[in-house]
């Protein structure tokens, strides 16, 4: 719902603020007073382009601000585009001379396209403007569905449709996999065979690297042992020979001096001699085990090269290669079971297709039956609005299956005798379009979720009984929507919940447009002016009072 409008330096409006209420609001004023400027300002809030000519003479910029109560659809769009969501939506338009124009939602800069997308779910401008929702063919099926109360049927259909789509996607994926299966299995078997033949073992690479180092240093290690042994045991004046000499001398000393400390020294030397003998034996054993076989070195290198090649090829270490080996075996099992899964999915898909066929048929039948009722109701309304020869038809076409079924729907109308039915957005003058839209929206008021509807030319070329019928329908529509209507007819104005007067004033050679919310007394004066012209007589005042009283009584 539109709650507030503030206009600055726009056309003949220097600065004005206007609060809007629920129900039916009429905007009246003398011809040329500037009533349509208010609608033009609201249209700017809905994304219509502004021209520099819109800027008031002598001013550098024009600015329009509106406060709109959001609905669920607009809140979702704000979230989708990362725009701030508040209790209200504040829309601002600004144009400066010689510069580009700007659009803001909650003080965040947006494009005109984005502004239109968000506001078209909030305000429907009927007349000369583009965002008349009924003229958008994409909305026709939704409106028919709401009118037909197909929500439950559509929900059941969409549940099966989504299951069908999911099943079909899985089937296509498996069938695609099936086509590649043989090559994939061959590739996997080759990889499994390659890894299995390698007979990899955890920790093997580390041991091979250690052995490689030992093989590379075998000759050097043997040479060192060969050098150590003579100094230790075999050569003249070796460590062993020298210690044996020392042992004999200490033994001779102990014969001369039997005290304990001398015997201890003898024991220590004895242990050292035994240790040298043990070191000698271990070195001999070590020397015999030293392997510097070129053949074994070649074997180790070949094994390490194989491991390195597999690691590079599969981009895994040995534990990773062993894990991949197991996963490849499982994938082969899965691929070989693929045909069974395909058959299951095909059976499931067939079941979904049968269910969809039944649901689609029931949905289409409900729509077509309701369309006939809706056509008759709309023609009745159009007749009330003075379009006695109007024809209205809901055309069905078949479209590819989607979330709404197979029905394509478009509204067709003929407003004059002898004219063929044409798409709704291809026929009618401004006044006819407004009355057509009023008739359609009256029938579809519960189905149409746009909260605010603005009529600019609904009373063009009508009067008397038809004008009263227009007023009645506008009032009925305002029970479901906020309705704002520009009119010059008292028969329409008397149905208003709120009445705004637009006046043009000249001050110091400048023209200004001002607005005034009318109380009951002022409203009676304005109705009298609309009935009798500039001269408001006692008789026109009485007539104005009479029709207002009658309206209050009927209301």
Measured between alpha carbons, how far apart are the two ends of the chain, in Å? 23
Percent of the chain scored above 70 by pLDDT? 96
**Distance in angstroms (rounded) separating the CA atoms of residues 541 and 548:** 10
Query: Do 111 and 49 form a contact (C-beta atoms < 8 A)?
Result: no
| Angle, helices 181-198/294-314, rounded to nearest 10 degrees | 150
Q: Can you give the pLDDT at residue 533?
A: 66
**Distance in angstroms (rounded) separating the CA atoms of residues 395 and 376:** 14
CA 538 → CA 7, 529, 532, 545, distances in Å? 37, 11, 10, 10
Q: What is the pLDDT of residues 297-313, one digit of tens each?
A: 888 888 888 888 988 88
Q: Can you give the pLDDT at residue 111?
A: 92
Q: What are phi and psi for residue 70, nearest 5 degrees?
A: -80, 160
DSSP conformational letter for 55 = B
For the residues of 483-500, what is the DSSP string, one character each?
EEEE---HHHHTT-SEEE
Q: What is the pLDDT of residues 418-437, one digit of tens each?
A: 788 888 877 766 667 777 77
Q: Look-up: residue for tokens 């091979």?
A: 208
Show the tokens assigned to 145.
């569905």
Q: What is the pLDDT of residues 217-226, one digit of tens each?
A: 777 888 888 8
Q: What is the pLDDT of residues 120-130, one digit of tens each?
A: 889 988 765 55
Q: What is the pLDDT of residues 12-34, one digit of tens each?
A: 898 999 999 999 999 998 887 88
Nearest to 386 by CA among 431, 337, 340: 431
Q: Look-up: residue for tokens 């086509």?
A: 179
Cβ count near 496 (within 10 Å): 26
Query: Do 477 and 441 form a contact (C-beta atoms < 8 A)?
Result: yes
CA 40 to chain centre: 32
Q: Can you give the pLDDT at residue 44?
A: 92
Specify the pairing of strand 498-507 against strand 24-28.
Answer: parallel
Mean pLDDT of 129-156: 83
Q: Can you give the pLDDT at residue 419?
A: 81
Q: Pseudo-torsion of CA 463, 464, 466, 467, nearest 10°?
A: 60
What three-state secondary structure class fits 153?
A: helix
Q: Reply yes or no on whether the pLDDT at 555 is more than 70.
A: no
According to DSSP H, which parts of 257-399 are helical? Answer: 260-289, 294-314, 318-336, 338-384
Q: What angle do CA 22, 24, 27 make, to 5 degrees?
A: 115
**Distance in angstroms (rounded) separating the CA atoms of residues 126 and 43:** 10
Q: Can you give the pLDDT at residue 553?
A: 61
Q: Reply yes or no on whether the pLDDT at 341 is more than 90.
A: no
The residues that bridge with 110 in the sheet, in sequence order, are 103
Q: What is the pLDDT of residues 258-300, one digit of tens each?
A: 777 777 888 888 888 889 888 889 888 888 777 777 788 888 8
């Amino acid at each position: 719902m539109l709650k507030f409008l503030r206009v600055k330096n726009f056309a003949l409006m220097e600065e004005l603020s206007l609060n809007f209420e629920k129900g039916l609001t009429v905007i009246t004023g003398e011809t040329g007073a500037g009533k349509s400027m208010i609608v033009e300002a609201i249209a700017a809030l809905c994304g219509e382009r502004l021209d520099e000519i819109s800027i008031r003479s002598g001013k550098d910029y024009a600015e329009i601000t509106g406060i709109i109560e959001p609905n669920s659809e607009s809140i979702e769009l704000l979230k989708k585009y990362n725009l701030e969501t508040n209790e209200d939506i504040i829309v601002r338009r600004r144009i400066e001379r010689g510069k580009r124009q700007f659009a803001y939602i909650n003080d965040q800069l947006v494009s005109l396209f984005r502004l239109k997308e968000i506001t078209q779910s909030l305000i429907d401008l009927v007349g000369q403007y583009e965002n008349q929702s009924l003229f958008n063919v994409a909305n026709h099926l939704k409106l028919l569905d709401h009118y037909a109360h197909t929500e439950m049927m559509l929900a059941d259909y969409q549940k099966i449709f989504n299951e069908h789509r999911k099943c079909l996607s899985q089937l296509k994926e498996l069938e695609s996999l099936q086509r590649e299966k043989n090559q994939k299995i061959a590739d996997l078997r080759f990889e499994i065979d390659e890894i299995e033949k390698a007979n990899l073992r955890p920790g093997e690479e580390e041991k091979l690297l250690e052995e490689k180092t030992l093989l590379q240093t075998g000759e050097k290690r043997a040479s060192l042992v060969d050098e150590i042994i003579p100094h230790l045991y075999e050569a003249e004046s070796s460590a062993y020979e020298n210690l044996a000499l020392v042992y004999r001398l200490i033994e001779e000393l102990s014969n001369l001096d039997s005290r304990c400390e001398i015997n201890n020294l003898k024991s220590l030397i004895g242990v050292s001699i035994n240790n040298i003998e043990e070191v000698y034996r271990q070195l001999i054993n070590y020397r015999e085990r030293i392997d510097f076989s070129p053949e074994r070195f070649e074997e180790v290198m070949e094994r390490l090269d194989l491991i390195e090649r597999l690691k590079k090829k599969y981009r895994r270490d040995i534990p990773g290669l062993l894990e991949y080996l197991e996963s490849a075996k499982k994938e082969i099992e899965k691929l070989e079971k693929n045909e069974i899964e395909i058959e299951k999915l095909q059976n499931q898909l067939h079941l979904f297709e049968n269910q969809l066929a039944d649901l689609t048929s029931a949905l289409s039948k409900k729509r077509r039956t309701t369309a006939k009722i809706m056509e008759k109701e709309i023609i009745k309304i159009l007749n009330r609005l003075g379009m006695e020869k109007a024809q209205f038809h809901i055309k069905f076409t078949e479209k590819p299956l989607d979330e709404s079924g197979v029905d394509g729907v478009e509204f067709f109308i003929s407003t004059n005798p002898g004219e063929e039915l044409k798409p709704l957005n291809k026929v009618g003058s401004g006044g006819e379009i407004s009355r057509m839209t009023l008739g359609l929206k009256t029938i579809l008021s519960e189905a149409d979720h746009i909260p605010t509807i603005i009529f600019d030319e609904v009373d063009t070329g009508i009067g008397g009984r038809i004008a009263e019928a227009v007023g009645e329908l506008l009032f009925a529509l305002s029970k479901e929507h906020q309705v704002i209507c520009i009119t010059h007819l008292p028969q329409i104005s008397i149905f208003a919940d709120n009445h705004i007067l637009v006046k043009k004033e000249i001050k110091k050679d400048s023209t200004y447009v001002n607005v005034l919310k009318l109380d009951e007394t002022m409203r009676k004066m304005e109705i009298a002016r609309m009935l009798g012209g500039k001269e408001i007589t006692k008789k026109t005042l009485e007539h104005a009072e009479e029709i207002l009283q009658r309206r209050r009584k009927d209301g």
